[in-house]
Amino acid sequence: MGAVRVCAFDDIAPSSAVKVEADGHLIAVVRIGDDLYALGDTCSHGQVSLSEGNVLDDECEIECWKHGATFSLRTGEPLSLPATKAVPVYDVIRQGEDVLVVVP
């Protein structure tokens, strides 16, 4: 298990997500204000990229653009149908301007 640099902090606009790859894992890194979250980028229902969906700041969720399922940025748990399976979450670290994700 190790931390992998995936992008610069400024590469992620507020209230948005970017898709990155770290040691073979596709990960959506999400920014809400100065807070960062990282979760598996593939929706557990529709096999599409979560990083292309809407970030719901107040709810701390991301919405899949294809079918509208929402996922907790903290736990990866689905919070609305049609998704019923969680996506993985990863620890994310900000070191200065670098964003690192801890991958297994």
**For 61-74, what is each residue's pLDDT tens digit?**
999 999 999 999 99
Strands 54-56 and 61-63: antiparallel
User: Which pLDDT value is given to residue 87?
Assistant: 98
Burial class (CB in 10 A: 0-12, 13-18, 19+), 79: middle
User: Which pLDDT value is given to residue 80?
Assistant: 95
User: Domain locations in the chain?
Assistant: 2-103
CATH no. for 2-103: 2.102.10.10
pTM of the predicted model, to two decimals?
Answer: 0.95
Res. 98: pLDDT tops 90: yes
**For 1-59, what is each residue's pLDDT tens digit?**
689 999 999 999 999 999 999 999 999 999 999 999 999 999 999 889 999 999 999 99
